[in-house]
Amino acid sequence: MGLLIPIRSLSPDSSNYPAGIHKGHPAGLPAIDTDLLPDNIKWNTTIFGVLGSMVIWQAQAKPLLSIPIPVIQSSIIVTASEAKTASPGLACPVPVIVPATDLATVSDPERTVLHDDAPPTDTEVTTEANSDPVIDQSWLQNDDNQEAVTATTWKAMTFTPATNHTIRGVRLALYGSSVGSITVSIRATSGGLPTGGDLCSGTLDGSQLNGTFDGKVYDISLGAGTALTAGTVYAIVVRTASGTLNWRSSAAGYDRGNKCSSTNSGASWTADANRELLFQEFGDNSLDVPATPSPTAVGDGLYIGNSTPFDYVDVWVNQAGVGTYTITWKYYNGVSWLPLTLSSDGDRSNSWKRPGRHTVFFNRPVDWAITSILTYALYWVKAEVTAYTSQATQPILGRVWIGAY
């Protein structure tokens, strides 16, 4: 006698699976499971004979991180057209997602402090050194050529002051290689040509010049100067001890003077009404800030401070220092005074040994600390005498600025 096993059919309408042999459904599994459709099966996948056609699309949005690119800009330079650009050197901004805020400006007037010891005892403090040279006549534009100056070929630019004043210096657009000492003087004129001897004069070391013109101008101090009368024509006369000096020029445009030339060391002159030589002449200012004490010694120097950090120091040297000494720019880190890292495109001011305007750029120290000098708790930098042999002439500053980015 055999075993009888019933054969059962599955129904898509029931989840009941009774015991026995299941013969399935004549239409196959899809007829039982109504969800087993191509739209519910991954594309190109077959399940129980059903080929899938489902495609899943995904999209994801991510926030955008803005990373500023470090940049290097040029130094501050007074050019022949009086243009000026500023930069602290290499700037590495911190990446941000929110818009950046404006940088703070210098909030307080600058202070300059001269000291003779550490801590300072005999000190001069100026809240504002309002002693900029007063420029009377100026032609620093449209330069397109140059005039050669040698030991025998002299050049002059005549000018007519608009006001009575004592001329204290001139600014000239110069360049040249292997140039010796340059002498600049003021002379009277007759018939629009230089005449007589020097009314006042000053010198510039020609070795400081660049061999090619790069837009720079140079300030030559004329010492005590000479009194000029408004409406009277005078001449700026330039000659050099050796080499060939180039003085930048332009087509005629300055209506209060013109270029003059001499080929016999100033014995006779000819005028050229079609050309001008680039110049500025400036007058009185107060010699109010000694850059070093007199006498000076290693460790002495000039303190310059502000209530917020800054990035450069601008100075006007009225009287150039003469001597054998070295100036090093330093900052205070909370423990000691350390050398600043000066920008490669900044002017080291030649230890105050060259007259005129100079800008000293430095990289703002990350560990710069506030300290008190004569009760002023500020961020200070110090132009310190770090080597000293002699100082025949004390350097005098007419004005000191600071700047921040």
- Shared-domain flag, residues 265 and 180: yes
End-of-domain residue from the set 257, 282, 307: 282
- Decide if 101 is inside a domain: no
- Shared-domain flag, residues 249 and 139: yes
Q: What is the pLDDT of residues 133-186, one digit of tens each?
A: 678 899 988 889 999 999 999 999 999 999 888 898 898 989 998 899 999 999
Relative to beta strand 181-190, strand 193-205 is antiparallel
Task: Name the amino acid, one letter, at 193.
Answer: L
- Shared-domain flag, residues 201 and 126: no
Give me the residues paired with residue 324 across strands.
390
- Decide if 210 is inside a domain: yes
Output the CA angle 187-189-195, nearest 5 degrees: 65
Token reading at 219: 């300030």
pLDDT over threshold 80, residue 30: no
Token reading at 392: 């025949």
End-of-domain residue from the set 282, 303, 318: 282
Share of the chain above pLDDT 90, in %: 33
Q: Which of 303-312, 347-356, 391-400 has the lowest mean pLDDT?
A: 347-356
Q: What is the pLDDT of residues 290-349, one digit of tens each?
A: 788 878 889 998 888 888 899 888 887 777 788 899 889 999 999 999 999 887 555 555
Please compute the mean of the pLDDT values over residues 47-70 and round it to a whole number.
Answer: 59
Is the separation of the CB atoms in 232 and 150 below 8 Å?
Answer: no
- Decide if 346 is inside a domain: yes
Q: How far is CA 274 from CA 147, 187, 367, in A?
A: 13, 21, 57
Q: What is the pLDDT of residue 112?
A: 39
Please tell me the distance from the alpha carbon of residue 72 to that of residue 388, in angstroms, as a whole number.
35
pLDDT over threshold 80, residue 115: no
- Shared-domain flag, residues 274 and 302: no
Segment holding 32, helix H or strand E: helix 29-32
pLDDT averaged over every residue in the chain: 76
- Shared-domain flag, residues 140 and 276: yes
249/60: higher pLDDT: 249
pLDDT over threshold 50, residue 12: yes
- Decide if 99 is inside a domain: no
- Shared-domain flag, residues 274 and 155: yes
Q: Say which CATH number the domain at 122 has.
A: 2.60.120
Print the domain residue range for 37: 18-52
- Shared-domain flag, residues 156 and 276: yes
- Shared-domain flag, residues 190 and 249: yes
- Decide if 103 is inside a domain: no
Q: What is the pLDDT of residue 47?
A: 77
**Which one, of 18, 350, 15, lies nearest residue 5 by Cα?**
18
Q: Say which CATH number the domain at 278 has.
A: 2.60.120.820
- Decide if 77 is inside a domain: no
- Decide if 7 is inside a domain: no
CA 304 to chain centre: 18
217/98: higher pLDDT: 217
DSSP output for 232-283: --EEEEEEESSS-EEEEEEES--TT--EEEESSTTSS-EEETTEEE-EEEE-
Please tell me the distance from the alpha carbon of residue 202 to that of residue 7, in angstroms, as a whole number.
125
- Shared-domain flag, residues 301 and 374: yes
Is the separation of the CB atoms in 287 and 224 below 8 Å?
Answer: no
**Which one, of 151, 156, 139, lies nearest residue 176 by Cα?**
151
End-of-domain residue from the set 9, 27, 52: 52
- Shared-domain flag, residues 255 and 383: no
Q: What is the pLDDT of residues 211-262, one digit of tens each?
A: 888 777 888 888 778 999 999 999 999 999 999 999 999 999 999 999 999 9
DSSP character for 31? H
Token reading at 364: 């703002």
Strands (DSSP E) found in 76-164: 90-91, 111-115, 124-126, 135-139, 143-149, 154-159
Please tell me the distance from the alpha carbon of residue 206 to that of residue 190, in angstroms, as a whole number.
30
- Shared-domain flag, residues 223 and 321: no
Who contacts 227 (Cβ-Cβ below 8 Å, separation ≥6)? 164, 165, 166
Cβ atoms < 10 Å from Cβ of 277: 29
Output the CA angle 287-293-296, nearest 5 degrees: 145
Q: What is the pLDDT of residue 39?
A: 76
- Shared-domain flag, residues 295 and 260: no
Coil vs helix vs strand at 309: coil
* Total of domains in the chain: 3
- The distance in angstroms from the start CA to the end CA of the chain is 107
- Decide if 65 is inside a domain: no
